[in-house]
Amino acid sequence: MINVGDKNYMTPKEAAELWNVTPGTVCRWCREGKIVAMPKKNKSDGRWRIPYGAERPNKRK
């Protein structure tokens, strides 16, 4: 869990475990805008910040 101010966020790894996908898939969804997430702050940090309660994107049809 990542705390930013008064809000809590999941890491891609935590979201992946919750949604039963790989962390790479979660990062791709973030890049594609399928998940509303805070972008990577800087290259040394290298993490997306996904708000708790974010919904998993729908599976492909």
Residue 59 is assigned to a structural domain of this protein: no
Residue 9 is assigned to a structural domain of this protein: yes
Q: Of 7, 12, 9, which is closest to residue 52 (Cα–Cα)?
A: 9
Residue 58 is assigned to a structural domain of this protein: no
Its domain, for residue 10, covers 2-51
Q: Considering its fold, how many domains does the chain have in total?
A: 1
Residue 61 is assigned to a structural domain of this protein: no
Q: Give the pLDDT score at 44.
A: 46
Largest CA distance in the chain: 38
Joined tokens for residue 32: 């594609």
Give the separation between CA 22 and CA 8, rounded to whole angstroms.
Answer: 21
Residue 39 is assigned to a structural domain of this protein: yes
pLDDT digits 0-9 by tens, 12-40: 899 999 999 999 999 999 989 898 887 76
Q: pTM for this one? A: 0.75
Residue 48, judged by CB atoms within 10 A of its CB (0-12, 13-18, 19+), counts as buried
